[in-house]
C-alpha cells in the first residue's frame, strides 16, 4: 500500500488519513476503535481522519457505526481541484513576493531581469536558441496556443534527449487530448525519454532552461493571440517560477509507463494504461488510440483480468503500486 499512500499524500491527505484509508481497503467494515488498533493511531485521531475522508466522499459510516470505503472517483477529483487551487495560490504568492522585493529591496531596472520578445518569427528564433542551448535539463508547462500551428513534432527535444538533456513536462489535459499532438509530439518524446505528467490546466506556457532562464507566455485560455514571450533571466522571479513548476510537478499525474509494466502488454495496451492513469475519459482514450469503444472495453477487461481488479480505478491503482507507471 506504500504507493497508494504516497499518491494520496501528494493529493493532500495527511498521514493518518492515508493510513486509515489504505487499511479500510484491506478489511471489512470496522469501528473507529478497531481501525485505531490496526493502524497504531489514537481513536480521536482516527475519528478526525474518518470525518475528513467522509467529507471528501471516500468513506461512509454504516448504520451499525462501522465505516467502509466507497467508490473514490469524486473524492479524488475533489482533492485534485484542491491541489490546483494550491498551485494558483503559490503562483500568486510568488509573484506578489517578487513584486514586493522589486519595490522595496532591489530597484534594478526591470529590463535587466525580464526581456519581452514580440512577433512570431522572433519568438520562434529565441525559443529555438534557448532550447538548443540546454546543457542538462528542460522543465516545461505545455498548453496551447502553439507557435508552430502547422508543425507538430519537436526535433530539438528529441536531439536534446539523445545527448542526455533531461525533460520534465507537465501537460495541460487539453494538450494530451489533441490526438494529432499526442501522436506526433507527446508519444515520440516519451518514447525518447521525456518524463511527462498531466494536470487539468497549467498556470502558464513556460519553458525553464537549466537554471539560466525561463520563457513565459499566457495559455490559450487567457490570451486570444500569443504575440509576446517574457524571457526571465536569473533573479528571484526565476527562482519563484522554478518553485511553481516543482509544486505543479508533485501535484500532477504520470503519462508515461514505468519499468515494470508486463511484457505481455501490446503497445496499444501500454498506451491505454498511461492514458488511464492520466485521468482521460473512456471516450477520449478511444479517440486517441483510434479504436472503437467496444475494442476499448475489451482491452480494459483484459487488463483488469491481468491485474485481478474489477474497475478502472482499481486498475490504475494496481498499475501505480506495481511499477507500471
pLDDT tens string 80-125: 666 666 667 776 776 676 566 656 655 555 556 888 888 888 888 8
Q: Are residues 63 and 180 in the same domain?
A: no
Return d(Cα 316, Cα 325) in angstroms, integer: 9
Return d(Cα 10, Cα 250) in angstroms, integer: 7
- List C-alpha distances in Å: 261 to 90, 192, 266, 291, 292: 35, 17, 11, 22, 24
Pairing of strands 137-142, 59-61: unpaired
Return d(Cα 131, Cα 300) in angstroms, integer: 39
Of 2-6, 65-69, 267-271, give the range with the top mean pLDDT: 65-69
**Which of 17, 36, 70 is the C-terminal boundary of a domain?**
70
Range of the domain at 180: 77-254
**Is it true that the peptide bond before 297 is cis, omega within 30 degrees of 0?**
no
Read off the pLDDT band of 9 (50, 70, 90): low
Residue 260: CB atoms within 10 A of its CB come to: 11
- List C-alpha distances in Å: 275 to 24, 42, 176, 179, 259: 27, 39, 9, 12, 16
Q: Could you give the percent of the chain with pLDDT greater than 70?
A: 72
Return d(Cα 105, Cα 232) in angstroms, integer: 19
Q: Are residues 166 and 304 in the same domain?
A: no
Q: Are residues 123 and 33 in the same domain?
A: no
What pLDDT does 151 receive? 65
Q: Are residues 216 and 143 in the same domain?
A: yes
Return d(Cα 240, Cα 112) in angstroms, integer: 17
What pLDDT does 160 receive? 93
Q: Are residues 81 and 178 in the same domain?
A: yes
Q: Are residues 46 and 124 in the same domain?
A: no
Q: Are residues 279 and 237 in the same domain?
A: no
Q: Quick one: cell of 100?
A: 514586493
Return d(Cα 120, Cα 117) in angstroms, integer: 9
Pick 210 or 100 by higher pLDDT.
210
Identify whether 262 is part of a domain.
no
Cα-based torsion angle of the residue sequence 268, 270, 273, 278 in order, rounded to the nearest 10 degrees: -90
Structural domains counted in the chain: 3
* CATH code for the domain of 295: 1.10.10.10
Q: Are 128 and 148 in contact (CB under 8 A)?
A: no
- List C-alpha distances in Å: 97 to 102, 206, 213: 9, 20, 19
Pick 293 or 140 by higher pLDDT.
140
Give burial (CB, 10 Å; 0-12/13-18/19+) of 95.
Answer: middle
Residues 6 or more apart whose Cβ sits within 8 Å of residue 66? 29, 30, 31
Q: Are 232 and 102 in contact (CB under 8 A)?
A: no
Pick 59 or 255 by higher pLDDT.
59
What pLDDT does 306 receive? 77
Cell 505528467 belongs to: 197
Per-residue pLDDT of 159-209, as tens digits, reads 999 999 999 999 988 888 888 888 888 889 988 999 988 888 888 899 999
Identify whether 37 is part of a domain.
yes
**Which of 29, 48, 70 is the C-terminal boundary of a domain?**
70
Q: Are 262 and 282 in contact (CB under 8 A)?
A: no
**Phi, psi angles (nearest 5°) of residue 143:** -155, 150
Q: Are residues 102 and 46 in the same domain?
A: no
Identify whether 259 is part of a domain.
no
For range 241-253, the mean pLDDT: 88
Identify whether 261 is part of a domain.
no
Strand partners, 199: 172
Where residue 217 falls (left for φ over 0; alpha for ψ -120 to 50; beta otherwise) is beta
Q: Are residues 162 and 57 in the same domain?
A: no
**Which of 31, 50, 70 is the C-terminal boundary of a domain?**
70
Pick 254 or 10 by higher pLDDT.
254
Read off the pLDDT band of 288 (50, 70, 90): confident
Q: Are residues 11 and 117 in the same domain?
A: no
Pick 160 or 322 by higher pLDDT.
160
Amino acid at each position: 500500500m506504500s504507493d497508494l499512500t504516497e499518491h494520496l499524500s501528494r493529493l493532500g491527505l495527511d498521514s493518518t488519513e492515508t493510513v486509515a484509508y489504505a487499511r479500510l481497503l484491506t478489511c471489512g467494515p470496522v469501528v473507529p476503535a478497531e481501525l485505531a488498533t490496526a493502524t497504531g493511531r489514537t481513536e480521536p485521531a482516527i475519528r478526525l481522519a474518518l470525518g475528513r475522508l467522509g467529507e471528501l466522499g471516500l468513506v461512509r459510516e454504516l448504520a451499525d457505526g462501522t465505516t467502509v470505503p466507497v467508490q473514490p472517483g469524486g473524492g479524488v477529483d475533489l482533492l485534485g481541484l484542491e491541489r490546483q487551487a494550491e498551485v494558483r495560490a503559490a503562483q500568486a504568492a510568488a509573484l506578489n513576493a517578487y513584486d514586493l522585493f522589486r519595490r522595496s529591496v532591489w530597484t534594478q531596472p526591470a529590463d535587466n531581469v525580464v526581456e519581452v520578445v514580440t512577433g512570431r518569427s522572433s519568438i520562434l528564433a529565441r525559443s529555438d536558441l534557448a532550447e538548443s542551448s540546454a546543457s542538462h535539463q528542460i522543465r516545461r508547462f505545455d498548453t496551447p496556443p502553439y507557435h508552430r500551428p502547422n508543425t507538430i513534432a519537436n526535433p530539438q527535444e528529441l536531439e536534446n534527449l539523445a545527448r542526455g538533456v533531461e525533460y520534465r513536462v507537465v501537460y495541460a489535459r487539453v494538450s494530451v487530448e489533441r490526438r494529432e499532438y499526442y501522436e506526433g509530439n507527446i508519444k515520440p518524446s516519451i518514447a525518447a525519454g521525456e518524463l511527462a505528467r498531466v494536470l487539468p490546466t497549467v498556470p502558464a506556457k513556460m519553458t525553464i532552461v537549466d537554471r539560466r532562464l525561463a520563457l513565459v507566455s499566457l495559455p490559450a485560455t487567457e490570451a486570444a493571440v500569443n504575440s509576446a514571450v517574457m524571457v526571465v533571466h536569473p533573479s528571484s522571479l526565476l527562482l519563484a517560477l522554478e518553485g511553481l513548476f516543482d509544486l505543479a510537478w508533485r501535484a500532477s499525474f504520470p503519462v508515461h509507463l514505468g519499468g515494470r509494466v508486463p511484457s505481455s502488454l501490446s503497445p496499444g495496451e501500454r498506451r491505454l494504461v498511461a492514458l488511464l492513469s492520466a485521468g482521460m475519459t473512456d471516450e477520449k482514450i478511444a479517440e486517441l488510440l483510434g479504436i472503437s469503444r467496444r475494442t476499448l472495453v475489451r482491452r480494459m477487461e483484459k487488463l483488469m483480468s491481468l491485474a485481478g481488479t474489477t474497475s478502472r480505478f482499481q486498475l490504475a491503482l494496481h498499475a501505480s503500486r506495481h511499477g507500471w507507471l
